Amino acid sequence: MTALSVLDLMMIGEGKNFADTLDSARQLARHVEQHGYNRYWIAEHHDLPGIGSMATPLIIQHLAAATSTLRVGAGGVMLPNHSPLIVAEQFGTLQTLFPDRIDLGVGRAPGSGGPTVRAIRGFSQERDFAQDVQKLRDYLEDNGRESVRALPGRHDVPMWILGSSLQGADLAARMGLPYAFASHFAPQMLMRALAHYREHFRPSAYLKQPYTMAGVNVIAADTRAEARYLASSHQQWVVKLHAGRPGLLPTPEEGYLASITPTDQHGLDQAMACTAIGDKQDVGAWLREFIATTGVDELMIDARIYDPAARCRSYQLAAESIGDLLTH
């Protein structure tokens, strides 16, 4: 059995604005809640055209308020950008507002680079990621190990370690925390990282057995032709990003792949190796093979589809395609 969840980068489409993105996310969250999805995560990014997922806790509150049972969280908070104390205060408050529905995934990447990182942090010193994770845990537990307090009382916010290399896998294993791998855009180390995590996992008060999640791209439609058409928005965005021209999420383009160079195709194939595009049968077959090969407990689907209704339909078809495998 497995679980399905949503990853949303809060893409802003060409000819649209951030308010449209927020409305689309609310629509999708309500839709997937009715179709067997487990959680809905927002990924923190900064200063990237087309991505609106900067103020992660505020978007989480927006989506949690619009739903009733769906887990909502950060996938993740880029912890080097923030004081662990402030993150604990924010997520302890969210957990109080929405009991047993908030997740906190943390990663070590900045979610941007160069001047943006300096503008976000306001300081230059590097901090130890593992120490920050432990501080965050201590603040949420209110266990007296820190000299100051976040929120009074213990706040049981499930914490995840995110990564795309062996570093995150090793830390998650040592701390006995669940591990989410970013194979939706950086799939190269997926199998090695999962194996390392499982081999070195130490049971903890938070988790008795290893628990893994993998990110995948799924673009599903009622026909293969429609799915290929919808997928061209995501593909265009990735190709432009690799060329140093990030922008808004493009409108779909018929026959897009035939127009790109072999070099662009190679880069796209590498970045989107963990991708299913097709009708319900195609997507179901791919997802079943991926689950069997990786043994992951949960799949987190990224679907950068321009049209909100088509995006909702894609997530619904993905869930229906492996309905017999889903935990409820």
Taking Cα atoms as reference points, which of 232, 220, 226, 230 lies closest to residue 257? 232
Domain membership of residue 317 (yes or no) is yes
Q: Indicate the burial class of 32 (C-beta count within 10 angstroms; 0-12, 13-18, 19 or more).
A: buried
One digit per residue, the tens of pLDDT, for the chain of length 328 reads 899 999 999 999 999 999 999 999 999 999 999 999 999 999 999 988 899 999 999 999 999 999 999 999 999 899 988 999 999 999 999 999 999 999 999 998 764 556 666 666 655 567 899 999 999 999 999 999 999 999 999 999 999 999 999 999 999 999 999 999 999 999 999 999 999 999 999 999 999 999 999 999 999 999 999 999 999 999 999 999 999 999 999 999 999 999 999 999 999 999 999 999 999 999 999 999 999 999 999 999 999 999 999 999 999 999 999 999 998 6
Contact 179, 173 (CB under 8 A): yes
Give the 3-state secondary structure of the chain: CEEEEEEECCECECCCCHHHHHHHHHHHHHHHHCCCCCEEEECCCCCCCCECCCCHHHHHHHHHHHCCCCEEEEEEEEHHHCCHHHHHHHHHHHHHHCCCCEEEEEECCCCCCCHHHHHHHCCCCCCCHHHHHHHHHHHHHCCCCCCCCCCCCCCCCCEEEEECCHHHHHHHHHHCCCEEECCCCCHHHHHHHHHHHHHHCCCCCCCCCCCEEEEEEEEECCCHHHHHHHHHHHHHHHHHHHCCCCCCECCCCCCHHHHCCHHHHHHHHHHCCCEEEECHHHHHHHHHHHHHHHCCCEEEEECCCCCHHHHHHHHHHHHHHCHHHECC
Question: Could you tell me if residue 266 is inside a domain?
Answer: no
The single-letter code of the amino acid at 137 is R
pTM for this model (two decimals): 0.95
Q: Which residues pair with 2 in a beta bridge?
A: 326
In a domain, 229, yes or no: no
The residues facing 105 across adjacent strands are 75, 160
**CA 302 to each of CA 93, 114, 318: distance values in angstroms, whole numbers, following the listed order:** 27, 26, 11
- Count of structural domains within the chain: 1
Which tokens hold the place of 317? 């078809």
Q: Is residue 267 part of a domain?
A: no
Q: Which of 101, 95, 88, 102 is nearest to 151 (CA)?
A: 88
Residue range(s) defining the domain that contains residue 35: 3-224+276-325
Is residue 32 in a domain?
A: yes
CB-based contacts of 300: which residues, under 8 Å, 6+ apart?
5, 6, 7, 39, 41, 75, 180, 184, 213, 214, 215, 216
Phi/psi region, residue 121 (left: phi>0; alpha: psi -120 to 50; beta: rest), is: alpha
Within-domain flag for 251: no
In a domain, 38, yes or no: yes
Give domain status of residue 33, yes or no.
yes
Q: How far apart are CA 137 and CA 106, in angstroms?
A: 11
Do residues 261 and 268 make contact, with C-beta atoms less than 8 angstroms apart?
Answer: no
User: Domain of 23: which CATH number?
Assistant: 3.20.20.30
